[in-house]
C-alpha cells in the first residue's frame, strides 16, 4: 500500500497522536510537566480542570472563582431534556456511563451553547473596545451584530422560569470581590452589566442576566476561549446528570417514557385505511 | 404551580407529543393509516423507510432506486473513524447498541454530512433553473455560491482514496435506467453530471463524482429533503457499524486503542518540572 | 519506547485492524469478495445486511423473510423512551446523527434486548432437543432455567399495551409459508409456539407472543446468533427514530422537556433550610 | 384512552417525575433544601458533587479527600479508547458535547468499571468481616469469590503499562493522613492493602494496587455505593476527554482515523469473486 521505508512510516505513526497535555513513561505520569503525584492533594479539582484544558496552573484565587461557576450550574431539574434523558436511559437498562452519554450529547447549541454564545458576544464587544470604541457604543454595536446573526434571543439574558435567576447576582458578587483583590480586572463584568442595561432600555422591561450570562462573565474574566464555556458547563451539568441517573436507578422502573401512560399522545396523520392489495382484517396472502 | 383547570392542562399534555407517523390502539398499530400487519411481507424495507420519513408509499420502482443507494453506502472500512469507534467501543465493554450509538454520533457534518451538503448544492442549482437560468449558468452560479459559503471542497466530488469511486457510475447507471422507465425525470442526474464537468474545467483535472454525489442524485430525484440525505446515509452506514462491532466482538480484545502499544504517541508539552511547594520524589506533605 | 525493528512494529500495526468484511484498493471495494458495483441494484438491502453481518449471501427468499422482520419493528410511538429521546434531542440543537445516537444508545437490555434474550431462550430449548429431549420437555426445562436466571418476565411474550400484538401472528404466518417452501425448517416456530402454549398453561391465561418473540423466531430460523437479534432490531427501530427526529425538526420547538411545563414535577427532599454560615436572603460574605 | 378523572390523571403526571435532589420555584433553586446562592462560593466543587449524589453535605476534610481522587484520574493519554474517540469525534465535525458523549459512553464495564468492581470486592470483604471473619480470612474468601465470578484479573490491581502506578501510593498516603485526623476510619485502606499482599502471595510477584484500587479505597472510606465509583470516575475522566477534544479542535484535521493512512489494515476474508449473474468489470444489466 506504500513503498515508504518502514522507519519513516513508523515516525508518521508516532506523530499521528500528539499532545501537550500528558506525558507518560512506565511509572510516570506528568501533566504539563508536573508529576501527577505532586498534584494530587495539592491542587483543587477546578485548578486541575484549568491545567488540563489550558496547560497553565491557575492561582488558588482563580481556581476559586472557576469553582463558584462550576458549583452554580450543576442542575436545573428533571424536566430539562438532558436530565429527563439521563433518567429515562437508566430505566432502559443503561449503566451510568451510557445514561450520562445520551444526556451530555444533547447539551448542544440550544440546550448547552448559551454560555459559549454569550462569551462570543462579550468577546465581540471587547474587541470593539480594543479598537477604540467606548463601552456603551461597543455594547450597542455588539448587540446589533448578535441580533442580526442569531435573532432576538440574547444568550445569557432572560429566563423562562425565573423572573430573576438566583445564581447570577451571587456569581457577579464573587466577580466583584475578585476584582477588588486583583484576581480579575472586571472588564467582562462591566460588559455583562452593560448588556443587561441596554436590553432593559431596548425592551422597556428587565431581561436580567441568567446563569449563562454570569458564568460567561467569569469564564471570560479568567481568559477561557468561548467554546470552553460549553465544555465547562458540560463538566458542571454532568454532576446533575449523574445524580439524577443514580436517583432513578434507586427508584427503579422499566422503560420509563416521558409521561404516564394514562396520558395518550395525539395522532395527526391519515385516517385508517387498507394497504392496496390487502383486505382489512386479513393478512396479505 | 398552575391554576388552570385539570382538564385543560391534561389536554395540553395530550398534545405535547403529537405525530402523523403512527397511530396505536390496543391491538392495532397503523403507519400513515395502514395496518402494520398489511405492510409486513407486502412492502420492502426501503419502501417502509420512505413511508416512515415522508408519510407516502413509494412505488416498488422508487423503492428499488432508494434500495440501491442504501446498499451502496454500508461501509468504507475499519479505519474510518465511525467504524474504528464502533470496534473500539466493543472492547470497552459496550453492547451493540452502545457501540452503534458512539459511532453513529460522529456521522456529523464532516464525516456524515457530505450527501446532505451535495443535495443542498443540487437544490440550489435547481432553484436557479426554476428562476429561468440555463443548466450551465445555474451550475456555475451554484458552484460559486457553494464555494463562497463552504470553501473549495465540493461535497460529493473527489475522493482521497479512490481515483474513481466504483459506486458512483453504477448508481448513475441505475438512475439512467429509472429515467428511461419514467420512474424519475433525470433532472438531478443532469445537474450532478454538469457539476462534475464544470469541476473538471475549473481544476483542469477530473474530480469525479463520489458516492455522496451519486446518492445525492438519487435522493434528490426521489424528492427527499436534503437533511434526509444525512439520515438515509446513517441508516445505510449503520449496517457497516453493526457488522464491524459484531466482528470485533468475535475477535475479542480488551480496551483496544487506536494503534498497537508499541507505537507511542508524541508528547509536545513542557519539559518535566516539579510542582511548586513539592519536591521531586517526595509527595506533598 | 520499543527496541523492535520498525518493520516488525509496522507489521503489527497493519494487523491491528483486521477484517473479513471489506477489502479496498484504490478504485475497488469488495464485500466478502464481491465487487460493490455488482451488488448495487442486484441485491436487496436486507440481503446486504445479512452479507455484512454474516459474510454469506442469503437467497432472495431468506432475504424476504428477514425483510418482513425488519419492516415490522420500525416504531412503537413517541412515548417509547428511545423515540421521545430522539425528538427531545432535536429540540436541543442536535442534527439527525446526534439525535439518533442518543436514542439508539438506550436500546439496551431492557428496551432493546428482549429479542436477543428470547433468541437465547429458544437456542437453549433447541440445545436441549439436540441432547435428546422432546419438544415439550425441552420447553419446560428451558423456561424454568430462564425464569431462574432472569425472573418471571419471559422476553418475547406478553405486552403491556396490546392484548394481542398485531405483528406477531402476521410474522408467524410468513414463517409458516417459508417453511412450506423449504426456506426454513420451522423448528423455532414450533419452539416459539410451544413456549406460548406452556406460558398459557403456567399462568392460566394467555401471554401471547409479541413482536420480539416473533422476530426471534425468524432470526433463529435464519441462523442469526442471539446478539444479532438486538443488532437487527436496532437497524429496524432506527427507522422510527429517524422519522420522529425529522418530524420534530419540522414541528420546531426549543428544549422540549418530557411534559408540558404546566405539569410540575414532585419534590420529595428536605425542607428549605439555610446553609450553615450563611443567612437566608444574604449571600455568604 | 382513559376514563379517569382529569385531576387524578394529572396527579399521576405530577408524580411521574419526582426527585429529592432539587426544588425549584420561580426565583428559587434549592439543593437538598439549601438555596443555591448560599452554596456558590461557600462549598467546593467536590462537596457539591457529594451533595448532589448523596443528599448530604460532607465536611471540608471529606470533600478534600474526594477531591484528591477526582484530581488523580483525569487522563491516561490519547491512546486510551475514550480519549482517542473524543479526538477523532472532533475531526468528524462534532462539537465538544458530542465528542464527550461518544467518549464517555465507552467508559463501560471494561474501560470504566474497574473502580466499581473493586469497590464491590472491598464491600464483600467488609461484609465478611461484619459477619465475624478476621481481615485475612475475609480477604481470601472475598478474592476467591471474585475470581470465581469474574476471572483472574482483579479489578484495581496491576497495570499493563506502569510497574507501579504513581497515583496509588500518593492516594493511600492521603487516606492515612485522613485516618490520623479522624476523617475516615481506615478500614478499606486495610482491606485494599491486604488484597495487595494476598495477591503478591498468590502470584509470587507484586501485583500492585493501581489507581482504580486506590480511588476505590477512598470512595469506600467515604461511604459511596459501588456504582458511584464508576460515576465519580466518569466525572474525573471527563476532564481529560474535554481537554483532548479541545486540543484536537485546535490541531484541526478532518476525519482523523485511528492510524495514518500509510498503514493499511489487514483483510482476512474471501478472495475476490464475481457476484453470480454479473460479470467482472461490467455492472449488472
What subunits touch chain D, counting only 3 or more CB pairs under 8 A? A, B, C
Q: Is D106 touching C (CB cutoff 8 A)?
A: no
**pLDDT band at D283, cuts 50/70/90?**
very low
Average pLDDT over residues D13-27: 96
Reported as a single tens digit per residue, the pLDDT across C234-257 is 999 999 999 999 999 999 999 999
Average pLDDT over residues A98-120: 97
From chain B, pick out residues whose CB is under 8 angstroms from the CB of A50.
Answer: none
* Residue A276 included in any domain: no
Average pLDDT over residues B133-157: 97
Q: Does residue D251 surpass a pLDDT of 90? A: yes
User: Which range of residues forms the domain containing residue A26?
Assistant: 1-42
| Contact predicate B89/D81, CB 8 Å | yes
Q: Does residue A38 surpass a pLDDT of 90? A: yes
**Whether residue C38 is found in the same domain as residue C62:** no
**Whether residue A118 is found in the same domain as residue A236:** yes
Question: What is the distance, to the nearest Å, from the Cα of residue C146 to the centroid of all Cα atoms in its chain?
Answer: 19
Q: What is the pLDDT of residue B281?
A: 47
* Residue A214 included in any domain: yes
* Residue A283 included in any domain: no
- Compare CB distances from A14 to B22, B263, B284 and report the shortest one's residue: B263
Average pLDDT over residues D142-149: 98
**pLDDT band at A2, cuts 50/70/90?**
low
Q: Does residue B3 surpass a pLDDT of 90? A: no
Q: What is the pLDDT of residue C283?
A: 45
* Residue D261 included in any domain: no
Reported as a single tens digit per residue, the pLDDT across A207-251 is 999 999 999 999 999 999 999 999 999 999 999 999 999 999 999
d(CA D265, CA B251): 15
**C-contacting residues of B 149-168, CB under 8 Å?**
161-164, 166-167
* Mean pLDDT for all residues in chain A: 95
Pairwise CB contact (< 8 Å): C266 & D37:
no
Q: Where is D266: in which H helix or E strand?
A: strand D266-267
From chain D, pick out residues whose CB is under 8 angstroms from the CB of B91.
Answer: 81, 110-111
Q: What is the pLDDT of residue C284?
A: 43
What subunits touch chain A, counting only 3 or more CB pairs under 8 A? B, C, D
**pLDDT band at A284, cuts 50/70/90?**
very low
Residue D157 DSSP symbol: B
Reported as a single tens digit per residue, the pLDDT across D184-231 is 999 999 999 999 999 999 999 999 999 999 999 999 999 999 999 999
* Helical ranges in B42-107 per DSSP H: 45-54, 60-72, 81-91, 96-105
Domain total in chain D: 2
Smallest CA-to-CA distance from B202 within B245, B253, B140, B273 is with B140
From chain A, pick out residues whose CB is under 8 angstroms from the CB of D12.
Answer: 260, 262
Burial bucket for residue B212 (CB in 10 Å: 0-12, 13-18, 19+): buried
* Mean pLDDT for all residues in chain B: 95
Pairwise CB contact (< 8 Å): D109 & A98:
no
Reported as a single tens digit per residue, the pLDDT across B76-119 is 999 999 999 999 999 999 999 999 999 999 999 999 999 999 99
Reported as a single tens digit per residue, the pLDDT across A39-63 is 999 999 999 999 999 999 999 999 9
**Whether residue D81 is found in the same domain as residue D189:** yes
**D-contacting residues of A 6-25, CB under 8 Å?**
9, 12-13, 16-22, 24
Rounded to a whole number of angstroms, the distance from the CA of D25 to the nearest CA of chain C is: 10
**Whether residue B77 is found in the same domain as residue B28:** no
3-state DSSP call for residue D24? strand
Mutate to test the interface with D, among A32, A218, A231, A252 (most CBs of D within 10 A): A231
| Residue D25 dihedral angles phi and psi, to the nearest 5° | -135, 160
Closest residue on chain A to B37 (Cα):
A283
Q: What is the pLDDT of residue C84?
A: 98
* Mean pLDDT for all residues in chain C: 95
Radius of gyration of chain B (CA): 25
From chain A, pick out residues whose CB is under 8 angstroms from the CB of D244.
Answer: 19, 21
3-state DSSP call for residue D160? coil
**Whether residue B197 is found in the same domain as residue B95:** yes
Q: What is the pLDDT of residue C285?
A: 41
Pairwise CB contact (< 8 Å): A105 & B102:
no
Grid look-up 425538526 returns C249
* Residue A280 included in any domain: no
Q: Does residue D135 surpass a pLDDT of 90? A: yes
**Whether residue A22 is found in the same domain as residue A88:** no
From chain C, pick out residues whose CB is under 8 angstroms from the CB of B24.
Answer: 76-77, 161
Pairwise CB contact (< 8 Å): D82 & B93:
no
**Whether residue B210 is found in the same domain as residue B251:** yes
Rounded to a whole number of angstroms, the distance from the CA of B238 to the nearest CA of chain C is: 7
Q: Is D77 touching C (CB cutoff 8 A)?
A: no
**pLDDT band at C277, cuts 50/70/90?**
confident
Mutate to test the interface with A, among C258, C267, C274, C281 (most CBs of A within 10 A): C258
Q: What is the pLDDT of residue D285?
A: 41
Q: Does residue D65 surpass a pLDDT of 70? A: yes
Reported as a single tens digit per residue, the pLDDT across B20-52 is 999 999 999 999 999 999 999 999 999 999 999
Q: What is the pLDDT of residue D281?
A: 47
**Whether residue C20 is found in the same domain as residue C134:** no
Identify the bridge partners of residue D35 per DSSP, sorted by sequence position.
Answer: D30
The sign of the dihedral angle between the CA atoms of C196, C197, C202, C207 is: positive
Smallest CA-to-CA distance from A156 within A113, A109, A204, A202 is with A113
From chain D, pick out residues whose CB is under 8 angstroms from the CB of A100.
Answer: 104, 231, 234
* Residue A267 included in any domain: no
Pairwise CB contact (< 8 Å): D230 & A104:
no
3-state DSSP call for residue A19? strand
**Whether residue C78 is found in the same domain as residue C207:** yes
* Residue A262 included in any domain: no
Rounded to a whole number of angstroms, the distance from the CA of B71 to the nearest CA of chain C is: 5
**pLDDT band at A4, cuts 50/70/90?**
confident
The sign of the dihedral angle between the CA atoms of D78, D81, D85, D88 is: positive
Q: What is the pLDDT of residue C100?
A: 98
Closest residue on chain A to B274 (Cα):
A34
Residue A269, C-alpha cell as written in the block: 396523520
Whole-complex ipTM: 0.96
Q: Does residue B283 surpass a pLDDT of 80? A: no
**Whether residue B25 is found in the same domain as residue B75:** no
d(CA A160, CA A32): 42
Identify the bridge partners of residue C35 per DSSP, sorted by sequence position.
Answer: C30
**Whether residue D80 is found in the same domain as residue D3:** no
* Mean pLDDT for all residues in chain D: 95
**pLDDT band at A278, cuts 50/70/90?**
confident
Q: Does residue A3 surpass a pLDDT of 80? A: no
Pairwise CB contact (< 8 Å): D22 & C267:
yes
Mutate to test the interface with C, among D38, D48, D92 (most CBs of C within 10 A): D38
**Whether residue B29 is found in the same domain as residue B109:** no
Q: Considering chain C, what percentage of its residues have pLDDT values greater than 70?
A: 96
From chain B, pick out residues whose CB is under 8 angstroms from the CB of D259.
Answer: 79, 258-259
Q: Does residue A103 surpass a pLDDT of 60? A: yes
Q: What is the pLDDT of residue C4?
A: 82
What subunits touch chain C, counting only 3 or more CB pairs under 8 A? A, B, D
**Got the DSSP string for C62-110?**
HHHHHHHHHHHTS---TTSHHHHHHHHHHHTT--HHHHHHHHHHT-SHH
Grid look-up 483472574 returns D152
**A-contacting residues of D 221-260, CB under 8 Å?**
227-228, 230-231, 234-235, 238-240, 242-247, 249, 251, 259-260
**Domain holding B128: CATH number?**
1.10.230.10
Average pLDDT over residues D29-44: 98
Q: Considering chain A, what percentage of its residues have pLDDT values greater than 90?
A: 94
Mutate to test the interface with C, among A3, A102, A109 (most CBs of C within 10 A): A102
* Residue A269 included in any domain: no
Pairwise CB contact (< 8 Å): D255 & B283:
no
Amino acid at each position: 500500500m506504500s513503498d515508504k521505508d518502514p522507519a519513516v512510516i513508523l515516525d508518521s505513526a508516532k506523530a499521528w497522536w500528539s499532545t501537550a497535555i500528558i506525558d507518560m513513561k512506565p511509572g510516570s505520569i506528568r501533566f504539563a510537566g508536573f508529576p501527577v503525584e505532586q498534584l494530587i492533594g495539592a491542587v483543587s479539582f477546578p485548578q486541575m480542570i484549568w491545567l488540563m484544558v489550558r496547560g497553565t496552573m491557575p492561582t488558588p484565587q482563580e481556581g476559586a472563582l472557576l469553582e463558584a461557576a462550576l458549583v452554580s450550574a450543576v442542575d436545573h431539574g428533571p424536566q430539562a431534556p438532558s436530565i429527563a434523558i439521563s433518567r429515562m436511559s437508566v430505566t432502559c437498562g443503561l449503566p451510568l456511563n451510557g445514561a450520562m452519554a445520551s444526556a451530555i450529547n444533547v447539551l448542544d447549541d440550544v440546550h448547552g451553547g448559551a454560555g459559549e454564545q454569550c462569551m462570543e458576544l462579550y468577546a465581540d464587544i471587547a474587541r470593539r473596545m480594543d479598537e477604540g470604541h467606548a463601552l456603551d457604543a461597543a455594547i450597542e454595536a455588539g448587540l446589533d451584530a448578535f441580533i442580526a446573526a442569531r435573532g432576538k434571543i440574547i444568550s445569557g439574558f432572560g429566563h423562562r422560569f425565573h423572573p430573576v435567576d438566583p445564581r447570577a447576582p451571587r456569581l457577579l458578587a464573587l466577580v466583584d470581590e475578585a476584582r477588588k483583590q486583583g484576581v480579575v480586572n472586571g472588564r467582562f463584568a462591566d460588559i455583562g452589566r452593560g448588556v443587561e442595561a441596554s436590553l432593559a432600555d431596548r425592551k422597556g422591561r428587565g431581561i436580567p442576566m441568567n446563569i449563562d450570562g454570569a458564568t460567561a462573565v467569569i469564564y471570560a474574566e479568567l481568559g477561557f476561549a468561548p467554546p470552553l464555556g460549553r465544555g465547562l458547563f458540560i463538566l458542571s451539568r454532568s454532576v446533575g446528570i449523574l445524580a439524577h441517573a443514580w436517583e432513578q436507578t434507586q427508584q427503579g422502573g422499566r422503560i420509563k417514557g416521558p409521561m404516564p401512560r394514562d396520558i395518550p399522545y395525539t395522532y395527526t396523520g391519515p385516517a385508517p385505511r387498507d394497504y392496496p392489495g390487502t383486505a382489512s382484517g386479513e393478512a396479505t396472502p
